[in-house]
Copies of this chain bind each other. A is one copy, B any other.
Amino acid sequence: MSTEMTTHDGKPFNREMLESLVRRRCFYLPSFEPYGGVKGLYDYGAPLCGIQTNVVNEWRKHFVKREKMFELDCSVLTPYDVLKTSGHVDRFIDWMCKDPKTGELLRADHLVEDVLEARLNGDKEARGEKVETQEEPAKKKKKAKAMNVKLDDELKKEYEEILAKIDGYNGEELGLLITKHRIKNGDNEVLPPVEYNLMFSTTLGASGPAFLRPETAQAQFLNFASLLEQNQNEMPFASASVGKSYRNEISPRSGLLRVREFLMGEIEMYVDPDGGKKHPRFEEIKDVELAMLDRHTQTAGKTDVRKIAIGKAVADGIVDNETLGYFLVRIQQFMAKIGVDQSKLRFRQHMTNEMAHYAADCWDAELLTSYGWIECVGCADRSAYDLTVHMKKTGAPLLVRETRKQPLHIEEWQATLDRKKAGPKFKKDGKAIEAAVDALTQEMREKLSLDLEREGKITLEVPEISAGSVELEKELIKIEKATRIENTREYIPNVIEPSFGFGRILY
């Protein structure tokens, strides 16, 4: 426990006292206590329910109403196919190692982290250096112990590098690290890391397999076409959802921080990727200062927070774009409204290897708690990832079609098959040949136009027909440079997503 924490009136913070108090006042209770309780599940009692209702109402006022967002209340039950496409089936996972002697399941990254940190501390002790009391993040309650053994300088450096990259390893890499550095659970060898998906799976009546959603976002994305229509085809706009999401932690710890069921508020702001993802109201907030800890500072191994006006942060490229910056400020304003001590709030950018599979950039609003800095709001640029994969999978038009103010004149190589002549000549192969012509790249067309001019014919690969290729004389095909006028522009919007964990904010 960090003893630097103080309460609102400056008294030192005592976690045991607080936990005993919230228990007595029924702020929260372990769920199903008469049955021994279930790890990672809590019931909110009356005081916390009241606060939660107020915070959610304030959130609706601050974001949904003020920014004229479309609120949605979507299904928690989500079919397998949706989450397969979104990448959650394959990538929303933890790598777990089993201790065959105790039967314990341990998160592989936490195990490596704990053991190496303990060894580094042992090394410091052996060197007679002072061991810093680290911020103790929620996930590392059970500390590994190590003898005070001095490490080889090179090994020490290797350990430090591993720890810096600990969030970026996959299962195989973690397995290699465990073998190479003889990492054990106490004295026990552990089995190689195995993938555990973090979603709760179930079955929808006769309709097939499903999961409890890990986030509210996916169902919002799938309503994009209806929402765009409702918004008169105008961009940008946002949808928002408040609801429970689920995360099947294998062995949850740490009170209300790592729970299996949690209330989220998620906003999906759909923006045009062209033109720098500007925000119409950015001007209003550009002078607001935020306490920021960017990626570069962290990569350099530092945690210095800088106060920067958001206008400057976007101009300097620290924050990628206006929309992301706008929401960081709005998040700070929301936190102030609900009474968060602004000196205990910072915005930390994710490291490149730390981001979720769908994210292009991500900033967390973190609050300083007795567990250290804890992420309470994430603000990610999900790019066009989700809409693209769902559109590709289902063919649904999750895109924007807008009339260009200035029609676009595109000069390009056009290749046209003379159907009247080609049809009778190639009969059933005609379609495949036409498709092959249409599929030609601009470069190929340019090259083939020269062939055609020089030799009066071209040879075209068409794997779909029995001959494998076909000769086309210049009577059959024309390849020439021409100007095409495009009146409509199609694009898949990018999504900026501020995502609130209400449970963590309350905590």
Contacts and interface: CB of A to CB of B under 8 A. Distances in A.
B52 A205 contact: no
Interface in A228-254: 230, 243-244, 246, 248-252
A203 B200 contact: yes
Given A32-B222, A206-B250, 16 more contacts: A32-B82, A33-B223, A34-B225, A34-B391, A35-B81, A38-B207, A38-B210, A41-B77, A43-B74, A43-B219, A45-B223, A46-B71, A46-B230, A50-B71, A205-B250, A206-B251
B38 A204 contact: yes
Interface residues of A, number: 71
User: Copy number in this complex?
Assistant: 2
Interface string A21-46: 00001100101111100111111111
A248 B251 CA distance: 28
Contacts of A243: 244
Interface of A: 25-26, 29, 31-35, 38-46, 48-50, 52-53, 57, 60, 70-79, 81-82, 105, 200-207, 210, 212, 219, 222-223, 225-227, 230, 243-244, 246, 248-252, 260-261, 263, 390-391, 394-396, 398
A371 to B, nearest CB: 21
A130 B75 CA distance: 45
Chain B CB within 10 Å — which of A207, A226, A391 has the most? Answer: A207
A398 to B, nearest CB: 7
A35 B82 contact: yes
A250 B205 CA distance: 4
Contacts of A219: 31-32, 43
B60 A73 contact: no
A507 to B, nearest CB: 14
A44 B243 CA distance: 12
A261 B77 contact: yes
A198 to B, nearest CB: 9
B34 A222 contact: yes
A98 B106 CA distance: 45
Contacts of A206: 105, 250-251
A25 B41 CA distance: 38
B205 A260 contact: yes
10 contacts: A26-B227, A31-B75, A33-B223, A43-B219, A75-B261, A77-B200, A77-B261, A201-B202, A205-B252, A206-B251
Nearest to A70: B46
Contacts of A39: 205, 207
Nearest to A40: B205
A191 to B, nearest CB: 15
A292 to B, nearest CB: 33
A58 to B, nearest CB: 13
Contacts of A33: 222-223, 226, 396
Nearest to A198: B205
The 6 residue pairs across chains A and B that have the minimum distance between CB atoms: A34-B396, A44-B73, A34-B394, A49-B71, A31-B75, A43-B74
Given A40-B205, A230-B26, A46 B72 contact: yes
A31 B74 contact: yes
B35 A222 contact: yes
B26 A205 contact: no
B71 A204 contact: no
A202 B260 CA distance: 13
B35 A75 contact: no
Contacts of A249: 205
Given A31-B219, A200-B203, A203-B200, A75 B38 contact: yes
A81 to B, nearest CB: 6
A230 B77 contact: no
Contacts of A390: 34
B41 A75 contact: yes
Contacts of A53: 60, 71
Contact of A394 (B35, B43, B204): B35
Contacts of A230: 25-26, 45-46
Contact of A78 (B32, B71, B391): B32
Contacts of A252: 205
Contacts of A203: 200-201, 248
A34 B57 CA distance: 31
A44 B29 contact: no
Contacts of A263: 73
A29 B76 contact: no
A39 B207 CA distance: 8
Contacts of A244: 76, 243-244
